[in-house]
Structure 1
Amino acid sequence: MKMQVVTENIELCRLEEHYEEIPHVHENWVQLTFAVRGGSSVITQGTSGFIPEGAGIVHKPMQEHQIRVDEGSCAIVIKMRTSLWETLQHEEADCITVEQDINPRELNAEFQRWIAPLLLTDGDDRSRRSLTETGVLLYLTRNLKRGDCPDKNPPCLPELHRTGDPYMDRVLEYIHLSYTSSISIELLSSMALRSRYHFIRSFKAVTGFSPYQYILRLRIQRSKYELEYTEATISAISAGLGFASTSQFYRAFVKITGMAPEQYRLERKMG
């Protein structure tokens, strides 16, 4: 038996007893399979294995796999478009391990929260789909196990403080996770359960900045790290941080730091 909900970027499935699929690959999707009751059989690239309860496995694009769920067992599958998976990983793609450990009861409860809004509507509510995607992304960010990563100087972003408002906290978590991507005020205000006008006022009261200014400062802070610790070109840094053009990045950097990107890089290298 299979229960399934789908958004633009995520597919959520609950596979119950007596479910078996044929070997297949996903061209532009990453699949995470978690055993939440009993265990599940898995065949990866022709090699048989078993996912015990409380464990999971990650299948990358074009990696052939097959999942079987037997009587008395249940698995939850999360498929993500590669673009969203890359956002989740940032620059630590190799650090997320293939084999994962999760809390089955917690994941079961989260799964119900993710799918409930979509099951209660006709499926054409963009804000509800976005909320579901955000919930999945935040859960995975907090819970996915990572291995040893190459030593590197981490980007120094402002510390993420709790506001006391769970909805505003969720907005700030999402921004810190996705600040290099295009983020609409409509999405953020829907996450905060406020109108656009009241959301902007509330956000500024909490952070001291408008949402646009806050995101811009995160990007500039990250660019300072890139300029100091990497050899990336100005245009590459600009594109990687989501700026529409190098000139836009240049103007923002000068306005916030008081110097040009090249000058900042030179001073840090010499210092």
Structure 2
Amino acid sequence: MQIRIATTGMELWKIEHEFTNVPHVHDNWLQVTVPIQGTCHFTHERREYALQEGCALVQHPHEEHHFRTAGGAGVIIIQLQTDIWTGGVAPAPELSLRQYVDPHDIRSRFRGWTGRLLASDPVDPIAQQETEADIVAYLHHALRGNIRPAEADMPTVRQRTGDPHLARVLDYIHTHYRSALTLDELAALALQSRYHFIRSFKASVGMSPYQYVLRVRIEEAKHKLKTSNMTIVDISVYVGFSSTSQLHRAFLNAVGMSPELYRSRMRVGG
């Protein structure tokens, strides 16, 4: 199923179930692709990403990209002409390649945006312009500088060493942390033996690969505890732990309190 609504300076897409397109670029358009369910297999500038729900990917003008989804998956795509994004002021505000948005929030907003556009008079541009402005404001708030804690608190290997192979490993971990990762697959991405990979990873990042994966999972668990009503059991499964007890042990070691206490304090503090 595909939904497309366009104005003179913007296109909104919702694509669900099986879909694939061919590599292409947009000359004067900024695009934000947000999986809202399932996995979106996205290729951006010849780098592949298995994007999970909420893991938004930004495509600036002239950047080649394409993607595919399978049954049960879905994405929302926002395309804006660069002058709409900048508000007529150059250069365009920069967005980091990968950001996080709440998939439930953007799904709800998408319904509101499309409903307003469908209900507006096509000969009266002010309604469309107001909706465009709302979307730009949302993107500025939700995306600009909004790096997830798991990535903001942990500089990448590329930043530390300039090693593209180890940087690829970190990208892979942040995309697949919910899965049962193995040292062999991570070492293969770094083009190293398992034992050399463990040593080089720890030297570059300051912790072992497993400790890094745990930290990414814990940061995501903290985010879910603060922003969702998911149960502790559901969160433990969602972030990749094999059991709730494993989440409890890792969370207590990393944060110094139980997930339940952390949630209660965040709710009181909020």
What TM-score does the superposition give when structure 2 sets the normalisation length? 0.51
| Range with greater deviation from structure 2 (83-92 or 155-164) | 83-92
- Distance change >3 Å, CA 240–CA 255, structure 1 → 2: same
Q: Which residue of 2 aligns with 1:156?
A: 149
Task: Give 1:92 deviation, angstroms.
Answer: 5.0
Pairing 1:156-235 to 2, within 5 Å after superposition: 156-157=149-150, 158-161=153-156, 162=159, 163-235=161-233
Q: Give the aligned CA root-mean-square deviation in angstroms.
A: 4.0
Which residue of the other structure, out of 65, 88, 91, is the alignment partner of 2:54?
91
Consecutive unaligned residues of structure 2, counting only runs of 5 or more, are 1-15, 32-37, 43-48, 66-95, 102-134
Q: Is the 8 A contact 1:180 1:241 kept in 2?
A: yes
Q: Which residue of 1 aligns with 2:265?
A: 267
SS of alignment partner, residue 230 of structure 2: coil
Counterpart residue type for residue 260 of structure 1: S
CA distance in 1 between partners of 2:249 and 2:41 (Å): 29
Q: Is the 8 A contact 1:228 1:268 kept in 2?
A: yes
Consecutive unaligned residues of structure 1, counting only runs of 5 or more, are 1-26, 37-51, 58-80, 108-140
Which residue of the other structure, out of 15, 33, 45, is the alignment partner of 2:22?
33
The CA deviation string for residues 80-124 of structure 1, in whole angstroms up to 9 with x for no partner, is: x9465694143157x889xx95446xx7xxxxxxxxxxxxxxxxx
SS of alignment partner, residue 51 of structure 2: helix
- Distance change >3 Å, CA 191–CA 160, structure 1 → 2: same
- Distance change >3 Å, CA 31–CA 90, structure 1 → 2: same
How many percent identity over aligned positions? Answer: 39
Q: How many residues align?
A: 172
CA distance in 1 between partners of 2:188 and 2:208 (Å): 16
Q: Which residue of 2 aligns with 1:245?
A: 243
The higher radius of gyration belongs to 1
Task: Give 1:249 deviation, angstroms.
Answer: 0.9
Counterpart residue type for residue 249 of structure 1: L
Task: Give 1:236 deviation, angstroms.
Answer: 1.4
What TM-score does the superposition give when structure 1 sets the normalisation length? 0.51
Counterpart residue type for residue 207 of structure 1: V
Counterpart residue type for residue 51 of structure 2: L
CA distance in 1 between partners of 2:58 and 2:206 (Å): 34
- Distance change >3 Å, CA 216–CA 232, structure 1 → 2: same
CA distance in 2 between partners of 1:82 and 1:29 (Å): 11
